[in-house]
Chain A
């Protein structure tokens, strides 16, 4: 069974900040992280939700190690594991860049400490995490008597993301030479990141098109529908023969991807994502190109729960007196940060109105250029999120599209909404637990 760690960047920053504080006599600080778990195909996700620093008074004088902690600190961490049924990670910090490694002392001390957590929570794995300035390393024990294994699949979820394996020796693709300004790691990132696209109509087909040209290699595609004649005004890659053959939209998308990159990994689901079990959870980023507010609410609940950034696009046309008005949105819902409810985009009123129409979005007007503009803006946010090429301050969670003026601006609601999300607390991360 594989283990993957997904940790939120603000959480990492807070832990590192705490671990860098000087102690009166200890050479370094340590702490404990509680993780909820999520089930993924063939393994489990570790999702850190709580950090408990070791109190100043719980350090013991010992020159032979960086930090020696007393039994009170260990007992508190064991209590946390027992009461909340969580995985515990012992954490400390190495003040350098690059992948940290376990020193001989770290190894000896961890082997003494970590197995103790199996006395209170034998059903969960426990481990030791070392953070560096820009990376992390994790060793996990799956049982009290078992040897620790190194876990390579570590993602830091935030702006920018840091994905496992993205500094690997992957040759730069000559087809991507014109976008080398995105950074030397951009190509490995694009070859590694797993992107799910939910809905492959007007918006989703544009997203797929741009992502494959960008160099994205691993796709998870979800759409139950076939190509119909009314899709041809906007569905990139679809042809008249697809209408005649009732070709699945996932097949059209895969065909396009493979025509650009025959080595792409395409996981195709010709059904609603809700009917595919846990498949969506392994995505590193999810694009939602769906028609209804309910579908957006469902997607956001799952992506928040499993620490997956969710990028939502959508457009609408309304008529007021004799004038048509075209509008749209591009939203990034980052786990642990403001959600679409916080941003005022998903409201009970909208969900109620939609439910009164029995959940049908109806025949919403859709046009190719607006789909393209919104998809381009969304892919731009995705590139910023995964590479950080434009700097951290350029990140905007909620853009508003005025289709009449052809203009995208930061939505005014950003100024007024609370920056903390009350709808998806970290404590709810991972597989649901009922009490």
Chain B
């Protein structure tokens, strides 16, 4: 499970953050996460390494970004919902909040 300290940190940005596991990986659902555009979107943070990435952020839809991103994962089924992700490498061993902020920087 994601530690309570990490969940508390994530809830400072997304008060309704909740966690679940699937396939041995830990995920945090971030409902209605505030982004520049669209204003709010559901996101799913994978805090464990998967697909060759140290952590991943999935979006409930493809979103517009200033720089074009490689949305190589489309309609990926995780926890019985479809998600989208762009390729974005992050350093290993980051805290969940650090993973989130690192990927979100690429969204601006």
Chosen A-B contacts, 12 in total, with CB atoms closer than 8 Å, are A275-B82, A294-B73, A298-B77, A301-B77, A351-B50, A353-B52, A355-B52, A422-B24, A432-B20, A432-B22, A432-B79, A434-B29
Q: How large is the interface on B (under 10, 10 to 19, 20 to 34, 35 or more residues)?
A: 20 to 34
Decide: A301 near B78, CB < 8 A? Known: A422-B24, A428-B21, A432-B20: yes
Does A416 touch B at the CB level, under 8 Å?
no
A residues sitting closer than 8 Å to B (CB atoms) are 272, 274-275, 294, 297-298, 300-302, 305, 339, 341, 348, 351-356, 358-359, 422-424, 428, 431-435
Decide: A274 near B79, CB < 8 A? Known: A355-B52, A433-B20, A435-B19: no
* Bound Cα distance A162, B81 (Å): 30
Assess the B18–A359 pair: CB atoms within 8 A: no
B19, B50, B77: which contacts A348 (Cβ < 8 A)?
B50
Assess the A302–B72 pair: CB atoms within 8 A: no
Assess the A297–B23 pair: CB atoms within 8 A: yes
Assess the A358–B23 pair: CB atoms within 8 A: no
Which residues from A are CB-within-8-Å of B19?
Answer: 434-435
| Residue of chain B at shortest CB distance from A353 | B52
Known: A423-B23, A424-B23. 4 other contacts (CB 8 A): A428-B20, A431-B80, A434-B18, A434-B29
Assess the B52–A301 pair: CB atoms within 8 A: no
* Bound Cα distance A424, B78 (Å): 13
Assess the A294–B75 pair: CB atoms within 8 A: no
Q: Could you tell me which residues of chain B, from 67 to 102, have a CB within 8 Å of some CB in chain A? A: 70, 72-73, 75-82, 87
Assess the A302–B77 pair: CB atoms within 8 A: yes
Which residues from A are CB-within-8-Å of B52?
Answer: 348, 351-353, 355-356
* Bound Cα distance A434, B26 (Å): 11
Assess the B82–A352 pair: CB atoms within 8 A: no
Q: Could you tell me which residues of chain B, from 46 to 60, have a CB within 8 Å of some CB in chain A? A: 49-53
Distance in angstroms from A434 CB to nearest chain B CB is 3
Assess the A435–B20 pair: CB atoms within 8 A: yes
Which residues from B are CB-within-8-Å of A435?
Answer: 18-20
Distance in angstroms from A300 CB to nearest chain B CB is 8
Distance in angstroms from A24 CB to nearest chain B CB is 41
| Residue of chain B at shortest CB distance from A273 | B77
Distance in angstroms from A319 CB to nearest chain B CB is 23
Which residues from A are CB-within-8-Å of B87?
Answer: 355, 358
| Residue of chain B at shortest CB distance from A425 | B21
| Residue of chain A at shortest CB distance from B75 | A274
Assess the A305–B53 pair: CB atoms within 8 A: no
* Bound Cα distance A195, B70 (Å): 36
B23, B53, B80: which contacts A341 (Cβ < 8 A)?
B23
Which residues from B are CB-within-8-Å of A294?
Answer: 51, 73, 76
